[in-house]
Amino acid sequence: MDLSFTPDQDALREATTRLYGKESHGERVREAEATGFDPALWDAVVTMGLPTMALAEGDGGAGASLTDLAAAVEVHGAHLGSIPLVDTAVTARLLARVGGADHLATITAGAPAALGLRPANAGVAPLVPGAAVAGIVVARDGDRILAVSVPRATSRRTLASLAIADVDLDGATVVAEGPDAVGAYEVALDEWRALTAVAQAGLARATFDLGVQYAKDRHQFGVPIGSFQALQHRFADLHARVDGSRLLAYEAVWALDEVAPTARAIAAQAAWWCGEVADEAAGFSLHVHGGYGFMLEYDVQLHVRRAKATRLLLGDPGHELERIAEHRWGAHAPDPAAVVAAATDRPTRAGMDYRFDPETEAFRSEVRTFIAAHLDDEVVARAHRTGTMHDWGFHRALCERGYLAAGWPTEVGGLGRSAIDQCLLSQELYGSGAPIDGLNIAAMVGATLLLCGTDEQKASVVPRILAGEVMCCLGYSEPDAGSDVAAVATKAMRDGDSWVIDGQKMFTTMAHEAHYVFLLARSNPDAAKHKGLTMFLVPMDMPGVEITPVETMGGERTNITFYNAVRVPDSARVGEVDAGWTVMHAALVYERNSANWGEPDHLVESVAAWAREAGPDGRRPFDDPAVRTTLARASTELEVGRLLLFRAAWLSSLGEMPQVEGSMAKLHITEAFVRASAALLELLGTAGLLAGGEPGSVLGGLVEHAFRHSVVTTIYGGSSEVQREIIAGRGLGLPRNR
């Protein structure tokens, strides 16, 4: 996996940015509004070779990939280029594929082209973007692909100026016909979807950045408006969604470049998501600009109109959701064996490559084989019955295989696997329903001890964690310290070589199975809040430790733990005295980078499989458009989450410690999980009411349970609001609000 540009793509992006900075700034976009076309910009991009670069050299192009072209298109979208760049590039590639050399020559000679995005009606290709200025228009009528030179185009005034026109196809040349021609046309439309998604992602980022800058500069009530939490949190959500739209758009062009079997579904997902996010980002940016956003002098109103207009060019965006469902699970879904083969059989490529490395794919197979051999239904059922998301037998098997520390270096007992492998392992386990709360907590404590613990802790505790002999729990939260965890009141008083701990911890999950609690306590009440804390590793069998069970809506068992004059030696301390916040910070970063995508993904795929089965009345739920769009929306949101999650893992694999990226992934995935479980439960109707084990319950109550459980994922590990604070502050540099 590689999410970076090649040096050539970087250079292209820079050159395009310079060109558009000069030729497509706000004033020029306004000047071109009357026609939707800026001839000087067009001449400049033709000189640079952009419209034809993704044609083969033999066809007059530069043999560039769609991904190469996308590096320029993203800039074009960000600058609201008033030229049909994507339309021309895609039309040229279509003509090259169907043997339309004569017409292609018009484009390689420098003319703009336009593509009818919707089938012709009564001899007219309706509302074709770019057609008002194109030297050639290509459209589909039934199973024929038609080309019109010097088109008779009736310009239409539209929401945003895109040189849209109705094109009379009377007298058009038939370039190709039959099923192959229709297939080639469909590919062209997918290329248009993917490249337009890239342009929308560029627009979304540009309009978002404009809004953030305005929020930093504009003062009301004596402070920058960007310090208001109501704005910060929307910015934080959007930051993740906008980054996700770029990742998904590039995944679509990559998949088309690779002719991946999943390309069509991903192109539709990108078209839907990137359009929605561009629309949303521009709308919010305008809102942040207050009344000034409506003034024509301000660029943000151009963003709003361009984003929405582009989104409507294919028709009702909701139809893209239908298309996603059709190409993921419906009649046009790819053969699963072909998907697996495509994931493993292709050579790696330079720059952006969304495929996992062959070693990672092999590791995934190994993990799946392990899960199939070691996780039985009884283990999962017992975890749900007891609420203890841990099973000693399964845990020890995981540890024996080295999976607790798959990503740790081999010198400290790990498998030395990459952060991407580590992430994939977690997602496979989550997706299988394995009870792994214990595994996650033990791994997190072990990793933090390696970083901050004493030699003795590293030598005595870490090996036993690795062997699956020792379980830990986290003693952070207290009755009056939740999100504000640095407010803990549990006291740790020095007494000679010992410490005496007094206090109460809330939600100490796994305490009833644990040998140690990783406990944050106030060691210096006179120091500033974050500076008077110390971390301890307290054995749970010390006199004075008491555990009271707590049951939760999601079925998970957690605990309240009490510490009454618990005496521990100084060797139980982790990190320096009063430096507990530093230790805590290391532990929290691990937590944020381990979002659970596997479980919601399993949920959506399970419901999709169920929906395709005919019920007792012989009808398939999947045949209901409402079911298809709900599934498509959920799966697209989760695909964005998957990309955000693996982006963070990829950054880790490069040696970085992603903080904001981990928060973005956690925020997006957990919120998407809540939305998906609620929407899927409603989709089941009254059958959704039935708990697992009840006659007639769907999928063993999977959705009903997900609905009860998903909400907690937006609370523990740092609530959504806490993640938004991190993203707004550290990620966007918005001023503090507290």
Ligand X SMILES: Cc1cc2nc3c(=O)[nH]c(=O)nc-3n(C[C@H](O)[C@H](O)[C@H](O)COP(=O)(O)OP(=O)(O)OC[C@H]3O[C@@H](n4cnc5c(N)ncnc54)[C@H](O)[C@@H]3O)c2cc1C
Bridge partner list, 501 = 492, 566
Q: How far apart are CA 107 and CA 377, in angstroms?
A: 61
- Look at the block and give the residue holding tokens 């064996």: 337
| DSSP conformation class of 478 | B
Q: Which lies closer to ligand X via its Cβ, residue 263 or residue 473?
A: 473
Binding to ligand X in span 482-501, by CB under 6 A: 482-483
- Window contacting ligand X (CB under 6 A); options: 186-194, 399-407, 689-697, 710-718: 710-718
Token duo for residue 285:
């940016």
Contact 112, 155 (CB under 8 A): no
Q: Which residues contact 522 (CB under 8 A, 6 or more apart)?
A: 488, 489, 490, 491, 492, 532, 533
- Window contacting ligand X (CB under 6 A); options: 293-301, 338-346, 474-482, 581-589: 474-482
Which of 209, 322, 591, 721 is close enough to bind ligand X by CB under 6 A? 721
Please report whether residue 387 would count as binding ligand X according to CB under 6 A: no
Q: Which lies closer to ligand X via its Cβ, residue 231 or residue 473?
A: 473
CB-side exposure of 210: number of CA atoms within 13 Å?
Answer: 27
In single-letter form, the type of residue at position 347 comes to P
Binding to ligand X in span 431-460, by CB under 6 A: none
Please report whether residue 562 would count as binding ligand X according to CB under 6 A: no
Please report whether residue 591 would count as binding ligand X according to CB under 6 A: no
Smallest gap from Cβ 555 to ligand X, in A, equals: 10
Smallest gap from Cβ 511 to ligand X, in A, equals: 8
Please report whether residue 235 would count as binding ligand X according to CB under 6 A: no
Q: How far apart are CA 508 and CA 526, in angstroms?
A: 27
Which of 62, 374, 716, 729 is close enough to bind ligand X by CB under 6 A? 716
Q: How far apart are CA 571 and CA 257, in angstroms?
A: 58
Q: Is 495 helix (H, G, I), strand (E, B) or coil?
A: strand
- Helix residue ranges, H only, 160-217: 179-217
Q: Is 494 helix (H, G, I), strand (E, B) or coil?
A: strand
Binding to ligand X in span 395-434, by CB under 6 A: none
Question: In 3D, which of 563, 572, 513, 561 has the Cα closest to residue 538?
Answer: 572
Smallest gap from Cβ 474 to ligand X, in A, equals: 4
Q: How far apart are CA 448 and CA 426, in angstroms?
A: 18
Contact 361, 668 (CB under 8 A): no
Q: How far apart are CA 307 and CA 524, in angstroms?
A: 55
Q: How far apart are CA 60 and CA 54, in angstroms?
A: 10
Q: How far apart are CA 438 and CA 295, in angstroms?
A: 56
Q: Which lies closer to ligand X via its Cβ, residue 285 or residue 558?
A: 558
Please report whether residue 185 would count as binding ligand X according to CB under 6 A: no
Smallest gap from Cβ 227 to ligand X, in A, equals: 13
- Window contacting ligand X (CB under 6 A); options: 77-85, 492-500, 673-681, 719-727: 719-727
Smallest gap from Cβ 454 to ligand X, in A, equals: 22
258 is catalytic: no
Please report whether residue 474 would count as binding ligand X according to CB under 6 A: yes
Which of 558, 629, 630, 663 is close enough to bind ligand X by CB under 6 A? 558
Q: Which lies closer to ligand X via its Cβ, residue 508 or residue 635?
A: 508
Please report whether residue 712 would count as binding ligand X according to CB under 6 A: yes
Size of the site for ligand X (CB under 6 A): 18
Smallest gap from Cβ 423 to ligand X, in A, equals: 21
- Look at the block and give the residue holding tokens 């966007």: 732
Q: How far is CA 438 from the centre of its chain?
A: 26
Please report whether residue 692 would count as binding ligand X according to CB under 6 A: no
CB atoms within 10 A of CB 691: 11
Q: Which lies closer to ligand X via its Cβ, residue 54 or residue 486?
A: 486
Q: Among 177, 361, 591, 721, which one carries the catalytic annotation? A: 591
- Window contacting ligand X (CB under 6 A); options: 161-169, 326-334, 454-462, 470-478: 470-478
Please report whether residue 476 would count as binding ligand X according to CB under 6 A: yes
Please report whether residue 548 would count as binding ligand X according to CB under 6 A: no
Which of 477, 594, 636, 710 is close enough to bind ligand X by CB under 6 A? 477
Please report whether residue 6 would count as binding ligand X according to CB under 6 A: no
Binding mask 499-538 for ligand X (x = CB under 6 A): --------xxx-----------------------------
- Look at the block and give the residue holding tokens 């644990």: 514
Q: Is 543 helix (H, G, I), strand (E, B) or coil?
A: coil
Angle at 289 between CA 80 and CA 14, to 5 degrees: 35
Residue of closest CB approach to ligand X:
482
Count how many residues are written for the chain: 738
Active-site positions read 591
Q: Which residues here bind ligand X, judged by CB under 6 A?
A: 473-474, 476-477, 482-483, 507-509, 552, 556, 558, 712, 715-716, 719, 721, 725
